[in-house]
A = this chain, B = another copy of it.
Amino acid sequence: MSDLVASALHQRYKITIEYAGTGYAGWQRQPGLKTIQGQIEKAIYQYCQQETYVYCSGRTDAGVHALRQVAHFDLDEGSLKEKREKGCRSYQILRALNYYLTDDSIRILKAEKSPPDFHARFSAKKRSYIYKIISRVSPLALDKNRAWYIYKPLDLKAMQEGAMYLIGRHDFTSFRASACQSKSPIKTLNKIDITQEGDVFSLHVEAPSFLHHQVRNIVGTLKLVGEGRWTPNDVKIALDLKNRTKSGPTADASGLYFEDVYY
């Protein structure tokens, strides 16, 4: 009975967030550092004086952006002064958070009431990332901090061929950060689509879940293939060696965008 009362007073909210990660120490709150999670929790506190923990679907590193990151948090509705009728609470939260997020590199796109068993991270079935590379002679002006600048020309076909070896279920030890906390290095990559428009290369990667730095280590490796320093088959060799030192370097954070999460 007391459980029912508690759940009636607490409401879980699901929010969808866009952010430019430049200048942030990543998603996760860390003492003394400017983080996405920290800024959102601060905005929630300023809105309703409640200390919350905001869980996201996939933590992003310093400098990484998000088009539609999803997160959840709980509010004690009993203590909230209702300014409008109940049904408008989500919209109120959307507007209030965007108002209190004084740094305009983070914007809440959507706020919805969600059932108490919804979990931004554990309920997620699939996530997707976009990685943007610009390959040209001149450094970037308009896309500075929003793409990885590569001086050398890239061979699209070779990169696509190399990527093929990574699709499916594999031991991704060679593409996993040493700090990765995942229990197993075995992951399933649903897709890596690579397209080119002029000097812009876009990699679109989809999987149920990812290892730490997995996308950036894959992109850093495919860059070697694109530059002709590796053959596409070298990607398969690196994968099979199950050794992080055998694959390419970690691609720049600035080109990575958390795109979508599916529940």
Residue from B98, B137, B144 within 8 A of A105 (CB atoms): B144
Interface string of A129-156 (1 = CB under 8 A from B): 0000000111111101010000000000
List the B side residues contacting A141 at CB < 8 Å. 18-20, 104-107
Distance between Cα atoms of A108 and B140 in the complex (Å): 9
Distance between Cα atoms of A94 and B94 in the complex (Å): 47
In this assembly, does A109 line the interface, its C-beta being within 8 Å of a C-beta of chain B? Answer: yes
Within 8 A of B (CB), among A120-177: 136-142, 144, 146
Within 8 A of B (CB), among A1-51: 18-20
Residue from B67, B106, B138 within 8 A of A18 (CB atoms): B138
- Chain A contact residues, majority secondary structure: loop
A18, closest chain B residue (CB): B141
Q: Which range contains the number of A residues in contact with the other chain?
A: 20 to 34
Distance between Cα atoms of A77 and B247 in the complex (Å): 48
Distance between Cα atoms of A32 and B180 in the complex (Å): 51
List the B side residues contacting A142 at CB < 8 Å. 18-20, 65, 67, 146
A16, closest chain B residue (CB): B138
Q: Are A104 and B18 in contact (CB under 8 A)?
A: no
Distance in angstroms from A109 CB to nearest chain B CB is 5
List the B side residues contacting A94 at CB < 8 Å. 137-138
Distance between Cα atoms of A105 and B20 in the complex (Å): 17
Distance between Cα atoms of A18 and B138 in the complex (Å): 10
Distance between Cα atoms of A94 and B139 in the complex (Å): 11
Interface string of A84-108 (1 = CB under 8 A from B): 0000000000100010000011111
Within 8 A of B (CB), among A173-212: none
Distance between Cα atoms of A140 and B142 in the complex (Å): 16
Q: Are B139 and A98 in contact (CB under 8 A)?
A: yes
Q: Are B108 and A144 in contact (CB under 8 A)?
A: no
List the B side residues contacting A137 at CB < 8 Å. 94, 109
Distance in angstroms from A152 CB to nearest chain B CB is 15
List the B side residues contacting A98 at CB < 8 Å. 138-139
Minimum-distance CB pairs A-B, first 6: A107-B141, A18-B141, A107-B138, A109-B138, A20-B142, A19-B141
